Structure 1
Amino acid sequence: MSSIRGAVGRVNIWDGAIRTGKTIASLLAFLIFVAVAPHGGQLVVIARTRDSAYRNVFAPLMESSLFGPISKLVSYTYGAPTARILGRVVYVIGASDAKAEKVLRGLTVAGAYVDEITVIPEEFFTQLLGRMSVVGARLFGTTNPDSPAHWFKVRFLDRVRELDGWNHFHFKLAGADHLDPAYIAQISAEFTGLWYKRFILGEWVAAEGAVFDMWDPDVHTIPWDELPEMRELISVSLDYGTTNATAALILGVSAEIDHLGRPTPRLFFVDEYRHDSKVAQQKLTDAELGREFVRWLNDRHLPASTSSMLIPRFTIVDPSAASFKVELRKTHGIASTDADNDVLYGIRLMASLLASGVLLVARPTAAHPDRGCPGFIQEAPGYSWDPKATEKGEDKPLKIADHSLDGGRYGVATTENIWRRYIKLAA
């Protein structure tokens, strides 16, 4: 409650461990502000994407168990550019890359709520502060910890006492008395290594060592022959290479149920296409690669004992592969979606899924040596953070032997709004 009462500055920031109440506190403070917000400027809600704005901001605001009767005064349609809060129009802006900064040009901001500031581009945040020219304008923002050299920490949090009108509220999981100890243990198990230090301990620490330090082939792989029944195959996602390997992975969500008949879905990478020109000693043209890929795509990807003839709902392709997307569309009639290529965000999603045991990878078997995802399984243990990038305060993996991992990451990140309907993870 102290952070809500204290959020009266020009900029008010909540950071720290997940599930500590910082989001609800910040949202309540924002609601109180909206009720008396100055006119003469716009109110904005900013998140990495409108999907995440809906999930992290508007879904809680419209939940009556959290905000009681006030929840009925908040309305937002999934993916829409505007919402209404307490009778005021609120613009909803996705800021997933530096180009988003242009959206703010010409906008006068009377109030802003920013979800997960550390995933917002620095140029965008700087532009936003400059647009808050209305007298009495305020910004309310949340973030989980990141690198200690992240621009937001260095430029702002480390200098918060020097910045007039800035308030900073830090939350620790250890002090979250409202949470059941069993639940704390559960969400703590969803993260390991870097993510545990940041999201559970609330520490701003640098990335080092293995990216997927929780990876265990005995835990995270399953024989292809033993794949469970699938509810659907959500996507096939492809990382395109010419001199490097091209890899595509199919992501499915299972139709599993527990002994009480309750749904217990998990995500599975069920099958993989891979062409490595260095191994095959043969480079393929887009036309040749397209024929091979489509031939594989039209094959069976699940054991005969399951819904073996399911086909992926979406085809997701590396956004840099413009020529290959044209080949798929013109020659094979396959419309593709550009992959979400926010590397760090996608890695974080995959790490959370792996650590919580709800993402498994099919491995080849003696009976079916050409099925499963051997490329992903081979690459996962050696995937490491780039120490030179870490020295600069950046979280970047080494670009070595990562083609199947990139293909898998595209699928997980781009279809998040679909699998989140089945799979629950700490945000």
Structure 2
Amino acid sequence: MTYKPLSGKAKRSVQLATARFNIWEGAVRSSKTVASIVRWMKYVRTGPGGNLVMIGKTERTLKRNVIDPIIEMVGTRRCRYLAGAGEVYLFGRRIYTAGANDIKAVEKIQGLTLAGAYGDEIANWPEALWDMLGTRLSVPGAQVFATCNPAGPVHWLKRNWLDRSALWIGHDGTTSTGHASDPVDLHRFSFTLDDNPHLSPDFVESLKLQYVGLFFKRYIQGLWVPAEGAIFDMFDEKRHVTDDLPAISRWISLGVDHGTRNPFHAVILGLGADRKLHLTREWRWDSAQKRRQLSDAEYSRELRQWLTSVPVPRSDLTGVAPEYTIVDPSAANFRVQLHNDGVSARLADNNVLPGISTLSTLFALGLLDVHESCRHLLLELPGYCWDDKAAEKGEDKPIKVADHGIDAARYAAHTTRAVWRPIVRPGLPIAA
């Protein structure tokens, strides 16, 4: 990958990142991460001596989002990542690496005396980790350089830190100081997608089509807005419900939301000859309605028997064999049962917000429809809403009511995105 010289807001942000805390936030692909990396590399070369740390949501995402681009910029002689050792060497300096996936991450930096830190995806960190990081920066002149995408307006990072910045380059490019009544030593740089002049117009338009509703406001406009209202407000029964499936070229996956007291729901995702995805059929067992609760062995038997009876579109055949069976992560025992019955199953990627974004993108671009026979799923989609009470606490959560078919569909599509994405629309940047 070729990195072009920084310009505009990105260049200014590097020059103005002189505070104790420096945060680049806003839209995806807006050049904020590249600008933060350039400033971090300068700090590694010229900053005070002492321990340095780089922290991401996970070490895997830290490597993908930050360390790999650094290696592309400076080469493997100047940047060497030691996988499994929790260290990266940049310009000869050892830098500790860590993931921030839960509250236990606090223990990873407890006791360290730090001269500097880089943080990736900090809006996804536990607040306690960010607070602990500040207490570890005791070397004179220590600085933090960090990035994030927006979340809700009452998120702890915005309320306690960004809104109190001593200097702010806003979304419109204007620089302001003294806007906070109780400022902290923090410089804030807010980006929109249009702040990156190096993206092609076609790619920018593709991204703007990809994101809708909440995700458009956050990931394109860079705004800290609440999750409210209907989640799939782009879903249109006339556009997205079909009674006539095309020939299915690949049966991609079977998504399973396991339930005992709650309904058990399974949906099949197929890739059509039209290069679109289709939720073709569903199977559901509601123990409360049927007044009988099935064991995992019975669920496995019933599900496998149902798959043999599913009609194949444009054919006289019945019976499908999905390439992947994707199971609710909380149903590890059911996965074992499937394995014992000869079915290889994977635990689903249950990162809810990216999964919702994947389904939203597919619906928005007209790349996913639902067969009319999936009547339970179709009943759930219009009423699937954000939880207002969670939003008041700065959390993005759907209301956990009537969502079993949606969860199954999310597992089926989001977990297998690496399989269908190159075929459905090459280059489509579905949420990671």
- TM-score bracket, normalised by the shorter chain, equals 0.7 to 0.9
**2:305 & 2:96 partners in 1: Cα distance?**
45
Gaps of 5+ in 1: 257-264
In the TM superposition, what is the alpha-carbon distance from 1:240 to its structure 2 partner? 1.6
In the TM superposition, what is the alpha-carbon distance from 1:62 to its structure 2 partner? 4.2
Aligned-residue CA RMSD (Å): 3.6
Q: Do residues 12 (structure 1) and 22 (structure 2) align? A: yes
In the TM superposition, what is the alpha-carbon distance from 1:303 to its structure 2 partner? 3.9
Question: Residue 144 of structure 1 corresponds to which residue in structure 2?
Answer: 149
In the TM superposition, what is the alpha-carbon distance from 1:168 to its structure 2 partner? 0.7
Question: Is the Cα contact below 8 Å between 1:173 and 1:200 reproduced in 2?
Answer: yes
Q: Secondary structure at the match of 2:229?
A: coil
Q: Secondary structure at the match of 1:189?
A: helix
**1:128 & 1:108 partners in 2: Cα distance?**
10
Equivalent of residue 120 in structure 2, options 106, 109, 115: 115
Aligned pair count reads 403
Question: Is the Cα contact below 8 Å between 1:244 and 1:276 reproduced in 2?
Answer: yes
**2:111 & 2:416 partners in 1: Cα distance?**
33
In the TM superposition, what is the alpha-carbon distance from 1:13 to its structure 2 partner? 0.5
Q: Do residues 86 (structure 1) and 91 (structure 2) align? A: yes
Question: Residue 380 of structure 1 corresponds to which residue in structure 2?
Answer: 381
TM-score under structure 2 length normalisation: 0.78
**1:96 & 1:418 partners in 2: Cα distance?**
26
Question: Is the Cα contact below 8 Å between 1:224 and 1:270 reproduced in 2?
Answer: no
What do the CA deviations read for 1:1-25 (whole angstroms, capped 9, x no partner)?
Answer: 0101122322210112333221221
Equivalent of residue 318 in structure 1, options 328, 338, 353: 328
Question: Residue 174 of structure 2 corresponds to which residue in structure 1?
Answer: none
Distance 1:32 1:383, change over 3 A: same
Question: Is the Cα contact below 8 Å between 1:51 and 1:79 reproduced in 2?
Answer: no
**Percent of counterpart pairs with the same letter?**
40
**1:84 & 1:249 partners in 2: Cα distance?**
47
In the TM superposition, what is the alpha-carbon distance from 1:191 to its structure 2 partner? 1.8
Letter in 2 for 1:349: T
Q: Do residues 198 (structure 1) and 198 (structure 2) align? A: no
Question: Residue 62 of structure 2 corresponds to which residue in structure 1?
Answer: 53
Question: Residue 43 of structure 2 corresponds to which residue in structure 1?
Answer: 33
Distance 1:154 1:362, change over 3 A: same
**1:81 & 1:404 partners in 2: Cα distance?**
40
**2:317 & 2:49 partners in 1: Cα distance?**
57
Letter in 2 for 1:240: H
Question: Is the Cα contact below 8 Å between 1:11 and 1:139 reproduced in 2?
Answer: yes
Question: Is the Cα contact below 8 Å between 2:164 and 2:184 reproduced in 1?
Answer: no
Question: Residue 244 of structure 1 corresponds to which residue in structure 2?
Answer: 262
In the TM superposition, what is the alpha-carbon distance from 1:42 to its structure 2 partner? 3.9
Distance 1:82 1:307, change over 3 A: farther
In the TM superposition, what is the alpha-carbon distance from 1:406 to its structure 2 partner? 1.3
Question: Residue 371 of structure 2 corresponds to which residue in structure 1?
Answer: 363
In the TM superposition, what is the alpha-carbon distance from 1:405 to its structure 2 partner? 0.9
**1:50 & 1:314 partners in 2: Cα distance?**
27
Distance 1:134 1:404, change over 3 A: farther
In the TM superposition, what is the alpha-carbon distance from 1:282 to its structure 2 partner? 2.9
Range moving further from structure 2, 236-245 or 347-356: 347-356
Question: Residue 405 of structure 2 corresponds to which residue in structure 1?
Answer: 404
Question: Residue 167 of structure 1 corresponds to which residue in structure 2?
Answer: 187
Q: Secondary structure at the match of 1:401?
A: coil
In the TM superposition, what is the alpha-carbon distance from 1:375 to its structure 2 partner? 3.3
In the TM superposition, what is the alpha-carbon distance from 1:169 to its structure 2 partner? 0.7
Question: Residue 351 of structure 1 corresponds to which residue in structure 2?
Answer: 360
